Amino acid sequence: MNQKVKTPWLDQLIGVPAHLKYFEGTMYEAVEKIASEIPDQVAFDFMGKPTTYRRLITRINDCAKALRTIGVRKGDSVTIAMPNCPQAIFMFYAVNLIGATANMIHPLSAEKEIEHYLNFSNSVTAITLDQFYGKFERIRANTKVVNIIIASIKDELSRPVRAGYMVTEGRKIQKIPSDAPVIRWNEFIRLGRHCFYNYKEKMNSDDTAVILYSGGTTGTTKGIMLTNKNFNALGQQVVATNPMFQRGDRMLAAMPLFHGFGLGVCIHTMLSQGGRCILVPRFTAKSYAKLITKYKCNFIAGVPTLFEALLRLPSMEKADLSSLKGVFSGGDSLSIELKKKMDAFLAAHNSKIQVREGYGTTETVTACCLTPEYKAKEGSIGVPFPDTYIKIVRPDTDEELPYGEEGEILLAGPTVMKGYMNNPEETEKTLRTHEDGLTWVYTGDLGYMDEEGFIYFRGRAKRMIISSGYNIYPAQLENILDAHEKVQMSCVIGIPDEYRMKAVKAFIMLKPGVEKSEETKNDILAYCRKNIAKYAMPKEIEFRDELPKTLVGKVAYRILEEEEEKKIQALKQEAE
């Protein structure tokens, strides 16, 4: 083992052990173990309604029995297209309990994306909310899905809150036909009464349990196969690097559960370690701020855009944040200036802590590196978790670089994925075993390490746009745009956005004879809305006669990025 990746000083610095003994069971068994120890403590709160660990386990088992009743078996895939709500939690662990795989997707995905995810994972069953029924029904015939389970937010609300919900949000949801070929949530749970035994399946800790999606080292969507051990190890690592954590501590779970950050840190870490999740089904900065103070949250996690929005909220002016033990930033680079502003904001609101930045990839579930509690360095994303190793190499090689020299960030440890589903070529590129015996993830990200083991992120070698924490892959969007009958060629870049940090801009070269008109632009946008997820929709479309090219004939997207930067600088100078 190379000395650079051991960071033995970490133990003396913050009392974090260098190595942990990991739970060898499934994700469900990790939660069940905690529930047996603290059955009457609250596992999560949802819109004012608490659920104890005892009820959590009961509902998971009810859900597991129902899945077996409708024919889901060990090894099958079940797609969960849900926001952070109780049914999603019950279903996630129930799928694990019966030995199936949870295929986690964004409920706001476009129809064609949903169709792709269902077919890619060979899902036999899917669960979504009533408001998304139409999208699933329209593409269902093109998939192998046998059963669609429809849940509703109102089913998990207390009576007073349900009444208010039905006259506000509930009335906006289009009614599903009574004869629709779906199973309603309450009916689904009742089906479990017909299953009396043999619904629990034994899984190994190294079995694939979850599929999350990422662009891998190219722009093409990859299904990332993650195991029980990946998630359980993450839970133990997060708690080990936060020794101030105690059972019952409250985490505001606003990050979505189809994302490694939300599912791995905000949900599974809390539930497998005895924490309490405050579920946020639909995120807004205003609701986030309200829940932090209402529940006196101990831990919050978010992307930089969230913290930037919190600073501007009038409702936070007199907020008491003394309950906070940890504020974590991830999903995008936290600028030094924003961190300074956020730290000053926390101090002004009775908090004794500062923002701690982390780093990770979906190929390692999520975070695998975090700023220590008592030692931060300006511009650093922290140090590796226990049993997690990071080294900097000359890009795409195994040649390790000296301290301070910039190269590609490589990761190794117990949270490293099993591989990309149905893609051995991409798996081979990304996962490589070195002479040290470790399997390393080639992240495609650039950075360097100092002599104390602190990591500094310098940029993404992969061409990717991060908008409000969502990963957007330009190559995917270009493939969709280029398929339009009026488009000759396209190039997608990220442009600065006041709220999202980055937004999507598409440069389009139209086919000969097609007019550059508002009508053409609206036609392309309407097409995009059908084929591209809402969060990845182009904010701007600009028509070009030609797109700049590199010497080898590729579209020179960097030239377009530079043009946009110059345009912004010119506007700033004019304003001054």
* pLDDT tens, position by position, 418-435: 999 999 999 999 999 999
Residue with the bigger pLDDT between 510 and 466: it is 510
Residues 1-22 have a mean pLDDT of 61
Residues 264-284 have a mean pLDDT of 93
Residues 168-189 have a mean pLDDT of 89
Dihedral sign for Cα 157, 160, 164, 170, please. positive
Report the percent of the chain where pLDDT is more than 90. Answer: 67
Residues 110-118 have a mean pLDDT of 94
Q: What are phi and psi of 280, to 5 degrees?
A: -115, 105
Residue 8 pLDDT grade (very low, low, confident, very high; cuts 50, 70, 90): very low
Per-chain mean pLDDT for the chain: 90
Residues 272-287 have a mean pLDDT of 89
Where in the chain do CATH 3.30.300.30 domains reside? 465-575
H or E stretch covering 484: none
Q: Which amino acid is at 437?
A: G
Residue 14 pLDDT grade (very low, low, confident, very high; cuts 50, 70, 90): low
Per-residue pLDDT at 424: 96
Residues 25-53 have a mean pLDDT of 97
| Homologous superfamily, domain 26-40+51-202 | ANL, N-terminal domain (3.40.50.12780)
Per-residue pLDDT at 47: 92
Number of H-type helices and E-type strands within the chain? 18, 27
* Residue 19 burial (CB count, 10 A): 9
Per-residue pLDDT at 99: 97
Residue 163 pLDDT grade (very low, low, confident, very high; cuts 50, 70, 90): confident
Where in the chain do CATH 3.40.50.12780 domains reside? 26-40+51-202
**Residue 208 vs residues 26, 212, 374: alpha-carbon distances, Å:** 10, 11, 36
Task: Characterize the bridge pairing of strands 431-433 and 419-420.
Answer: unpaired
Per-residue pLDDT at 124: 96
DSSP 8-state assignment for residue 253: E
Residue with the bigger pLDDT between 72 and 566: it is 72
User: Could you tell me the two tokens for 177?
Assistant: 């036909």
Per-residue pLDDT at 95: 98
Give yes or no for residue 384 having a pLDDT over 80. yes
Per-residue pLDDT at 554: 62
Where in the chain do CATH 2.30.38.10 domains reside? 381-460
Contact yes or no for 65/190 (Cβ under 8 A):
no
Per-residue pLDDT at 488: 85
Residue 312 pLDDT grade (very low, low, confident, very high; cuts 50, 70, 90): confident
Residue with the bigger pLDDT between 569 and 408: it is 408
Q: What is the pLDDT of residues 520-532, one digit of tens each?
A: 999 999 999 999 9
User: So what's the architecture of 465-575 in CATH?
Assistant: 2-Layer Sandwich (3.30)
Per-residue pLDDT at 519: 95
Q: What are phi and psi of 263, to 5 degrees?
A: -70, -45
Per-residue pLDDT at 349: 95
Give the helix ranges, DSSP H, for 51-158: 53-69, 86-97, 111-120, 133-139
Give yes or no for residue 217 having a pLDDT over 50. no
Residue 238, C-beta contacts closer than 8 angstroms, at least 6 positions apart: 265, 269, 273, 367, 385
Give yes or no for residue 548 having a pLDDT over 70. yes
Give yes or no for residue 552 having a pLDDT over 50. no
Residues 255-276 have a mean pLDDT of 95
- CATH 2.30.38.10 at 381-460, yes or no: yes
Closest CA to 508 of 533, 485, 534, 535: 485
Give yes or no for residue 473 having a pLDDT over 90. no
Give yes or no for residue 148 having a pLDDT over 90. yes
